[in-house]
Structure 1
């Protein structure tokens, strides 16, 4: 019985993360969004997911990622957490 209770609790705490494709936003800027549904994920992890995707995108071009803006939405544990990053790729 304890095993079933523990498994049920872990399932409720598990989170599903999705990261959007990089999208041009004009003027040499791009956007990428990371979203976590469910669980109790720390905001730092949500933000890090979008920053990593942006960094990978710029590195593929031989450039360095420059963060322009980061907006967060949602309430941890209640609604989906979302980190929307606006960035540009600059020469190293």
Structure 2
């Protein structure tokens, strides 16, 4: 019985993370979205994944990332969690 409980808890806590490609959003802005399915991932970690991807994108251009907006959707542990970042790349 303990094994079943441990396995069930492991499945519940496991999460599948995906980070989208950077996409143009108009007005020299871009978007990137991190989605977590399952698990109990803190919002800070989800947002950090989007911020990291945006920062990498801008650094490849020799610029720095400027956050324009961040939207979050979902309920931790119940529905998929999304963090959608809108950003621009500005001269360093």
State the TM-score, normalizing by the size of structure 2.
0.95
Q: Which residue of 2 aligns with 1:45?
A: 45
1:68 is aligned to 2:72: no
CA RMSD of the aligned region, Å?
Answer: 0.9
CA distance in 2, matches of 1:81, 1:8: 21
Query: 1:27 Cα shift?
Result: 1.3
State the TM-score, normalizing by the size of structure 1.
0.95
- Unpaired stretches in structure 2, ≥5 consecutive residues: none
Query: 1:11 Cα shift?
Result: 1.4
Post-superposition, which runs of at least 4 consecutive aligned residues in structure 1 deviate over 4 A? none
Q: Which residue of 2 aligns with 1:91?
A: 91
CA distance in 2, matches of 1:86, 1:41: 21
Query: 1:12 Cα shift?
Result: 1.4
Q: Which residue of 2 aligns with 1:27?
A: 27
CA distance in 2, matches of 1:82, 1:67: 16
